[in-house]
Amino acid sequence: MTFAVMFYVIAIITLGSALMMVTSTNIFHSALLMLVSFLGIAAVFVLLQADFLAAAQVLVYAGAITVFVIFGIMFTMKGDARKTNRFSKNAIPAAVLSLILIVINAAMVLKTQWPVSSHAPLEETVSSVAELMLTKYVVAFEVTAVLLLIAMIGAIVIVKEVKKPS
C-alpha cells in the first residue's frame, strides 16, 4: 500500500514535471522542470531497488546534463526569456501523435503477458553490477570509455572557433 502510494506520487511528479517542461514557454523553467523529472526518475529507480542507478542518475542527468543544457541555453538565448521556448506549427499534430502512441503503448503493455519471476531482488546491487561490468561486459565497458573520450574530443573540435582566413 505504501509502495503504491509512493509509486503514484513519484509517477505524478515525474510525468507532471515532464509535461510542464514541454508546455512551458520559458526555457529556464523547462530546464528546471527537466531536472525535477530526472530526480523523479531517480526515485523510480529507488523503487525498483536499483540504488546504484539512482545515484548515477542523479549525478549524470540531474547534475552534469542539466548543467550542460543550462549552459547551452545561456549561450544561445537572445531576447525575452519568457518567449524563448514556444511551440512550432507542428504542436497539435505532434500532441495527437504522442497521445495515440501513449495509448497504444499502454494497451500493448497491458495486453501482454510478461514472464514475471518470483525471485527476490538482490539486496546489494553495486558489487553485482561491478562484477558483471568487469567480466561479462568488459569489452563494452572499455568501448564505452573510448566512446566518452571520443565524444569529449569531438565536442571540443566541433565547438572550437574556426579561424577565418584573413
Partner 1 sequence: MTAIMNIGLNHFLVLSGTLFFIGLFAVLSKKNVIAVLMGLEVMLSSVNINLIAFNRYTSPEILTGNVFAIFVIALAAAEVAVGLALIVAIYRQRKTAEVQDYDLLKW
Partner 2 sequence: MFDIALYHAWVIPLLPAMAFVIITFFTKKMPKRSAGISITSILISFVLALSLGIGVIGQGERYLEHPLKVVVTWFSMNGLSIDVGTQIDTTSVMMLLVVTFITSLVEIYSLGYMHGDTGFARFFSYVSLFAASMLGLVLSPNLLQMFVFWELVGLCSYLLIGFWYHKKSAAEASKKAFITCRAGDFGLLLGIILLQLNFGTLDLQQLSKVIPHFTEYTGLTAAGLTGIAILLFLGPMAKSGQFPFHVWLPDAMEGPTPVSALIHAATMVVAGVYLVGRILILFVTLPSALAFVAFIGGFTALFSACIAITQTEMKKILAYSTVSQLGYMMLALGASSLSAGMFHLMTHAFFKALMFLGAGSVLHAMHDEANIWKYGGLKKYMPVTYWTFLIGCLAISGIFPFAGFFSKDLILEVTYAASSLSGQATGSFQGLYSLLFIMAALTAFMTAFYMFRMFFICFHGELRSHDAHPHEAPKVMTVPLIILGIFSFIGGWGGWPGLGEGQAFGYFVRVGNFHEIEANWFLIILSTGLALFGIGLAAIFYCKKTYSAEAVARKFPELYKISFHKFYIDEFYLWVIRHIVDKLGWLLWKFDYLFVDGIIVDGCGKAAQWSGSVMRRVQTGQLQHYAFVFFLAIVLIVLFLSLTDFNSIHVGLLLGGVK
Task: Report the site for partner 2 in 47-106 (rule: CB under 8 A).
Answer: 88, 90, 93-94, 97, 100-101, 104
Identify the burial level of 38 via C-beta atoms within 10 angstroms of its C-beta, where 0-12 means exposed, 13-18 middle and 19 or more buried. buried
Q: Residue from 9, 82, 106, 142 that binds partner 1 (CB under 8 A)?
A: 106
User: For residue 75, what are the contacts with CB-CB under 8 A and spacing of at least 6?
Assistant: none
Kindly state whether residue 90 participates in binding partner 1, applying the rule CB under 8 A. yes
- CA–CA dist 79, 133 (Å, integer): 47
**CB of 125 within 8 A of CB of 56?**
no
Kindly state whether residue 86 participates in binding partner 1, applying the rule CB under 8 A. yes
Find the binding residues for partner 1 in span 112-151 (CB under 8 A). 114-117, 119-122, 125, 128-129, 132-133, 137, 140, 144, 147-148, 150-151
C-beta of 124 vs 166, nearer to partner 1: 124
Q: Which helix (H) or strand (E) holds 71?
A: helix 66-76
Q: Residue from 159, 164, 165, 166 that binds partner 1 (CB under 8 A)?
A: 159
Nearest-10 crossing angle of helices 27-47, 66-76: 170
**CB 165, min distance to partner 1, A:** 16
